[in-house]
Amino acid sequence: MLPLCIAALVLVGCSESVGGNYPEPIPGSITYGGQPRTKLTKAPVGSWFRHRFIDQFGRDVVETYVIQPDRSLLLVSRLIVPIRVHD
């Protein structure tokens, strides 16, 4: 059962960023409504980090951002964790 859940997570994450297209920010994304006012000045360009939040539908969302040369953030992937239903 665990391998099936992991495979589902991978497929959900891949479906949002296939073909080099990046996902659009959604409510809860760091870049939703534009770039944040503060810049990550100490983080190296090209480094990445993850942001985890609950979306408007109650789903657990994990997004990955990369720091660009101009210090802006690029949302490169989104993983929506399926809601577990207990038998």
Average pLDDT, the chain: 82
Residues above pLDDT 90, as percent of the chain: 59
Burial 31-48 (b: 16+ CB within 10 A, else e): beeeeeeeeeeeeeeeee
Q: How far lies 85's CA from each of 5, 16, 55, 79, 82, in Å?
A: 12, 23, 18, 18, 9
Q: Using pLDDT thresholds of 50, 70 and 90, give the confidence band for residue 9.
A: very low
